[in-house]
Chain A
Amino acid sequence: MIARLLRLVASLAALAMVLAACGGDTTTSENGDAEGDAGGGTIIISGSSTVEPISALVAQAFDDANGTASTVEGPGTGDGFARFCAGETDISDASRPIADDEAAICAEAGIEYVELKVAFDGMAVLTSPANETVSCLAFTDLYALLGPESEGFQTWSDANDLASELGAPNTPYPDAPLTITAPGEESGTYDSFVEIVIEGLAEERVGEDSIFTRADYSAEANDNVIINNLAGNDTSLGWVGYAFYVENSDAVKAIEVDNGESGCVAPTEETIADGSYPLSRPLFIYAKTTDMSDATGAFVDYYLSDEGLVFVTEAGYVPLPDDQIAATRAAWEEATAG
């Protein structure tokens, strides 16, 4: 009886082992036309979930051509740098430049790296298509509606006084409920929004300790939930990454953003690349140059090639203009030359 049971357990385990061992075979890709001189090896990539789709597409194409085995994760820019500076990853995806405290940890661990700008991501300020009264907002408007001082505002018009005090150009706001859904604090999209829109005014008015948005909004990690909430509420307000907006442009309406110079600008690929749309950010990969493996070197070479950068567009982001591509390639060459 017991022996039979043991045999059952053992055969289950053996089955799993065989299956797991087969795992290697079917993920194999033909060792065909080599892109570089990688010749096998593993590359671990972690970091921003915004950059993840680009890196995943690049990694798949690179693995297919070279027989390497890459792992691409997207836990977030901050988590990515934590693992990068602990020496656990080869490349860190980032939707913002590395922060000073993160750089200090890397320096302490003796990990050197090079920052490579690979794409642009625009953020779109969104509302429901049914919201016809609001079509353009300036940073001051956004601060009045979403900044730390707006806490407790239940309707758009609650922000009128604060907005006129700031000299915001689009007052008065409609007397309608203000329901906000946006990414939570753990998200890189939240960080970028705060840095671009909120930081300057908040520092000046409330102090350095209050550089965040109002806390009383519904924070969602899942962008699809954000889109659903914004679409389902006539006078909603929120923001998401440009790629998510493009995917759902029939369900939500993008509010134009006033850049303070040429007026209201709608988020499009052109306005993001030429810098006229103010709510956009560059995307980076950070490559570890300390003890860099051949595979990682060849991978970054491929990433920055014309063939590799095609995946920026494929993943729904805005490609760099030519002069910025040249600058990124120059930075990579300089980092690997020494």
Chain B
Amino acid sequence: MAETTSTAPTTTDLVRGTLEGRRVNPVNTLVSGLLLIALLSSLLVLAVLLADVFGKGWGLLTERGADFLTTPLSPNAVDAGIFQGVMGSIALTAIVIVVAFPLGVAAAVYLEEYAPTNRLTQFITTNIRNLAGVPSIVYGLLGFSVFVNLFSGATGGRTVITGGLTLALLVLPIMIITTSEALRAVPTALREASMGVGATRWETIRHHVLPVALPAILTGSVLTVARAFGETAPLLLSGAVLSLYFAVPPEAGFVSLMTEQSYTALPMIIYNWARQPQEEFVALTSAAIIVLLAMLLIVNAAAIVARDHFERKST
């Protein structure tokens, strides 16, 4: 290399500097360090939370075992279980799946596959996105005024149907959005090929688009349902009982349980127990939180299994 007399660094010098000099770029190191700290701090919060909950609740859970799940609520902390909460949450989730899943998928299929692209559909899409961001307490108010008051004849007022429908409304926009995204990810070539050999639009959707999109739709849906599972605010307003003790008549049948009897859900029990002053309720609250986390994990695991299952089918 030719030596230059100029004091200003030439391009050659700069390149050499970069190649031969310190390999460590300070800015790079700083940024990656900061990002790592961000990651670790959020993990740390999670770890602290889990350690706290497990520290307080694990003892009670191992001691009581499955009894804790099958014992009903009681104002006596010693006998209290979460039976009504587990049942209520499962029933609510089932209603959400039955109502929101078909409606959400159907709406998304229409929006993505059938609806013409014009101002109106754009307007509707934007609104659905906005609805997905509406705080859940607002859906609670909606549930209260519509399902508890207006349609109390059909829902029975403060019943599990009311709660389930309110939660279904809450997750519907998210269900539509995730399904739309899954449908949009299906290559257009697939649709063209199918129609090219003479399939109708519905045949194309049914045999080619939906099977390919299904794993993504399922994953999105289950995550959405999991959100409904943990909601408390809308249930507070749509009639779930916030209670240390309640019972349903032993002879009550399915219809009565759905449309006449009091109900509650796991997050409601956690919220109610957390405000009790007695020491024993601290352990109960933590144990109930562990159960809630476990149920959420099971739901998410089921989503993964279902996704893998349908992914294998479609290929």
Residues of A within 8 A of B (CB): 1-2, 5, 8-9, 12-13, 15-17, 19-29, 40-42, 44, 52-53, 56-57, 59-60, 63, 67-75, 88, 221-224, 227, 243-244, 247-248, 315
**A23:B83 contact, CB within 8 angstroms:** yes
Instruction: Count chain B residues whose beta carbon lies closer than 8 angstroms to a beta carbon of A.
Output: 51
**B94:A17 contact, CB within 8 angstroms:** yes
**B98:A23 contact, CB within 8 angstroms:** no
Closest chain B residue to A315, Cβ basis: B75
**A2:B210 contact, CB within 8 angstroms:** yes
Distance in Å: Cβ of B270 to nearest Cβ of chain A: 13
Closest chain B residue to A67, Cβ basis: B250
**A248:B277 contact, CB within 8 angstroms:** yes
Enumerate chain B residues within 8 angstroms of A223, measured Cβ to Cβ. 275, 277
Bound CA–CA A248/B278 (angstroms): 9
Bound CA–CA A265/B19 (angstroms): 83
Q: Does any Cβ of A come within 8 Å of B91's Cβ? A: yes
**A27:B248 contact, CB within 8 angstroms:** yes
With A16-B90, A20-B258 as given contacts, are A71 and B214 in contact (CB-CB < 8 Å)? no
**A17:B72 contact, CB within 8 angstroms:** no
Bound CA–CA A53/B98 (angstroms): 37
**A243:B277 contact, CB within 8 angstroms:** yes
With A23-B257, A27-B83 as given contacts, are A60 and B277 in contact (CB-CB < 8 Å)? no
**B246:A19 contact, CB within 8 angstroms:** no
**A27:B91 contact, CB within 8 angstroms:** no
**A26:B244 contact, CB within 8 angstroms:** no
With A60-B75, A74-B243 as given contacts, are A224 and B249 in contact (CB-CB < 8 Å)? no
Enumerate chain A residues within 8 angstroms of B72, measured Cβ to Cβ. 26-27
Interface of chain B residues 84 through 143 with chain A (CB within 8 A)? 84, 87, 90-91, 93-95, 97-98, 101-102
With A52-B244, A72-B245, A74-B242 as given contacts, are A247 and B279 in contact (CB-CB < 8 Å)? yes
**A24:B84 contact, CB within 8 angstroms:** no
**B206:A24 contact, CB within 8 angstroms:** no
Distance in Å: Cβ of A40 to nearest Cβ of chain B: 7
Bound CA–CA A42/B70 (angstroms): 22
With A13-B97, A71-B246, A247-B277 as given contacts, are A56 and B75 in contact (CB-CB < 8 Å)? yes
Enumerate chain A residues within 8 angstroms of B162, measured Cβ to Cβ. none
Distance in Å: Cβ of B279 to nearest Cβ of chain A: 7
**A19:B277 contact, CB within 8 angstroms:** no
**A20:B214 contact, CB within 8 angstroms:** no
Bound CA–CA A17/B279 (angstroms): 36
Pick from A16, A24, A222, A224: contact of B250, CB under 8 Å: A24
**B246:A72 contact, CB within 8 angstroms:** yes
Enumerate chain A residues within 8 angstroms of B279, measured Cβ to Cβ. 247
**A20:B254 contact, CB within 8 angstroms:** yes
**A19:B210 contact, CB within 8 angstroms:** no
Enumerate chain A residues within 8 angstroms of B145, measured Cβ to Cβ. none
Closest chain A residue to B254, Cβ basis: A21
Distance in Å: Cβ of B273 to nearest Cβ of chain A: 11
Distance in Å: Cβ of B133 to nearest Cβ of chain A: 26
Bound CA–CA A22/B28 (angstroms): 60
Contact with A along B292-315 (1 / 0, CB 8 A): 000000000000001000100110
**A21:B101 contact, CB within 8 angstroms:** no
Pick from B101, B211, B261, B275: contact of A222, CB under 8 Å: B275
Interface of chain B residues 207 through 252 with chain A (CB within 8 A)? 207, 210-211, 214, 241-252
